[in-house]
């Protein structure tokens, strides 16, 4: 199994960088990533200082997938997400839209949380289940040079909790080799990622990457053992919700034999939403597979 070490911190999905790893379809790899706070909060007394490190969500890559071409799809099975240091970190951040009600006198709130025995110790009294996920993973677009802050059709900073162990993420390929990057692992995250900061951790992530030739998708998809999920982003969030549901309907139609209007009706009653960072409009919509297996 090939391994990719951290390297220099990178904050763009760039086509201009030399690939740091080349793989063939079907390979399993292990990738080291830094936390979204650029490693600034490691011990008591540390704080997030954007005057020194202004950017967030460093990603490791690019990973070049042999024979990948525009119009193909990557199927990325997430095998394992492990904390590199046995801890994670968070801070209060900027409440932005909440300032209307909460005010602007915001404490830094930075603190380190140990991870052990399947729990994240947020305080001496409160332990949160360890539920690792990748906040940021994406292929590289054919034009522009998106940073690791927004999400889009390429993936990017989706912050969707279902990008986790045991699930398969599907991403479009826009450039030769795909140029895959990943980072921003969380030990856990609440729906909406209210402060724009999850329980951020440096990680080692094990992935199996399959290339699906000739399969073109409009944006990220996720398949779990029990659900089909599509992801969209942008504001207003109502627009992203509509796009995600439309893409889920089209997936049900093209690959599972559904009439689109029957799928539209069904999702009205059984569809669910999973929120990424609320201010960025990132969200996923999903349907249990038990309904999809009976096209109507």
Q: Do both 162 and 247 map to the same domain?
A: no
152 and 46 in a common domain: yes
Residue 181 lies in a domain: yes
152 and 246 in a single domain? The answer is no
Q: Does residue 125 share a domain with residue 52?
A: yes
Same domain, 114 and 202: yes
Among 158, 190, 212, the domain-final residue is 212
> Using an 8 Å Cβ cutoff, are 184 and 57 in contact?
yes
- Looking at the structure, tell me whether residues 79 and 141 fall in a common domain: yes
* 232 assigned to some structural domain: yes
Strands (E), 118-269: 119-121, 127-129, 133-138, 151-152, 155-156, 168-172, 180-186, 203-212, 221-223, 227-232
Question: Tell me, what's the pLDDT at 198?
Answer: 95
Last residue of a domain, one of 160, 190, 212: 212
Rounded CA-CA distance 233/152 in Å is 6
Report yes or no: 258 and 265 within 8 Å, Cβ to Cβ. Answer: no
User: Which burial class, exposed, middle or buried, applies to 238 when counting CB atoms under 10 A from its CB (0-12, 13-18, 19+)?
Assistant: exposed
If asked whether residues 97 and 155 sit together in one domain, one would say yes
pTM, 2 dp = 0.97
Are 228 and 267 in contact, with CB atoms under 8 Å apart?
Answer: no
Quick check: is 236 in a domain?
A: yes
Residue 221 maps to a domain: no
Do 123 and 73 fall within a single domain? yes
Q: Is residue 218 part of a domain?
A: no
Task: Supply the range of the domain harboring residue 16.
Answer: 2-212
> Which pLDDT score is estimated for 190?
97
Q: How far is the C-alpha of 107 from the C-alpha of 76, rounded, in Å? A: 39
DSSP structure class, residue 147: B
In a domain, 220, yes or no: no
**Residue 164 and residue 104 share a domain:** yes
CATH of the domain at 140: 2.60.120.580
Beta strand 119-121 pairing with 127-129: antiparallel
115 and 246, same domain (yes or no): no
129 burial type by CB count under 10 A (0-12 exposed, 13-18 middle, 19+ buried): exposed
What tokens does 121 get?
């110790």
State whether residue 291 is helix, strand or coil: helix
120 and 257 inside one domain: no
Assigned token pair, 86: 């046995």
User: The domain spanning residue 241 has which CATH number?
Assistant: 3.10.28.20
What's the confidence (pLDDT) of residue 225?
Answer: 98
User: Do residues 209 and 175 lie in contact, with contact meaning Cβ atoms separated by under 8 Å?
Assistant: no
Any domain includes 20: yes
The C-alpha atoms of residue 193 and residue 200 are separated, in whole angstroms, by: 11
Q: Which residues of the chain have pLDDT under 50?
A: none
Q: Please identify, among 212, 247, 267, the residue that sits at the C-terminal boundary of a domain.
A: 212
Q: Are strands 27-33 and 203-212 parallel, antiparallel or unpaired?
A: antiparallel
pLDDT score of 229: 98
Q: Scanning the structure block, which residue is given the tokens 């669910």? A: 272
First to last CA, the chain: 44
Residue 96 DSSP class: G
**22 and 75: one domain?**
yes
For residue 18, the 8-state DSSP code is P
Is position 100 within any domain? Answer: yes
DSSP code of residue 200: B
- In sign, the C-alpha dihedral spanning 137, 143, 148, 152 is negative
Q: Which residues are registered as beta bridge partners of 90? A: 111
Give the chain's domain count. Answer: 2
């Amino acid at each position: 199994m090939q391994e990719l070490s951290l390297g220099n911190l990178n904050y763009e999905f760039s086509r201009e960088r030399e690939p740091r790893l080349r793989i063939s379809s079907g390979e399993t790899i292990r990738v080291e990533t830094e936390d979204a706070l650029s490693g600034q909060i490691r011990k008591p007394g540390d704080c997030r200082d954007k005057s020194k490190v202004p950017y967030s969500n460093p990603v490791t890559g690019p990973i070049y997938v042999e024979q990948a071409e525009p119009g193909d799809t990557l199927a990325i099975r997430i095998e394992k997400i492990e904390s590199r240091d046995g801890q994670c970190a968070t801070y209060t951040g900027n409440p932005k839209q909440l300032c209307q009600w909460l005010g602007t006198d915001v404490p830094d709130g930075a603190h380190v949380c140990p991870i052990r025995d399947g729990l994240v110790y947020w305080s001496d009294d409160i332990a949160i289940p360890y539920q690792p996920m990748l906040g940021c993973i994406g292929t590289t677009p054919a034009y522009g040079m998106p940073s690791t802050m927004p999400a889009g059709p390429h993936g990017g900073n989706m912050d969707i909790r279902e990008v986790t162990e045991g699930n398969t993420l599907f991403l479009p390929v826009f450039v030769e080799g795909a140029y895959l990057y990943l980072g921003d692992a969380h030990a856990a995250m609440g729906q909406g990622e209210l402060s724009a900061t999850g329980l951020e951790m440096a990680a080692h992530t094990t992935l199996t990457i399959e290339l699906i030739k000739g399969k073109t998708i409009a944006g990220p998809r996720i398949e779990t053992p029990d659900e089909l999920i599509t992801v969209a982003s942008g504001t207003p969030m109502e627009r992203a919700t509509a796009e995600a549901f439309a893409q889920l309907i089209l997936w049900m139609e093209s690959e599972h034999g559904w009439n689109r209007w029957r799928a539209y009706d069904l999702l009205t009653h059984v569809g669910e939403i999973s929120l990424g960072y609320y201010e960025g409009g990132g969200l996923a919509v999903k349907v249990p597979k038990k309904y999809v297996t009976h096209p109507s």
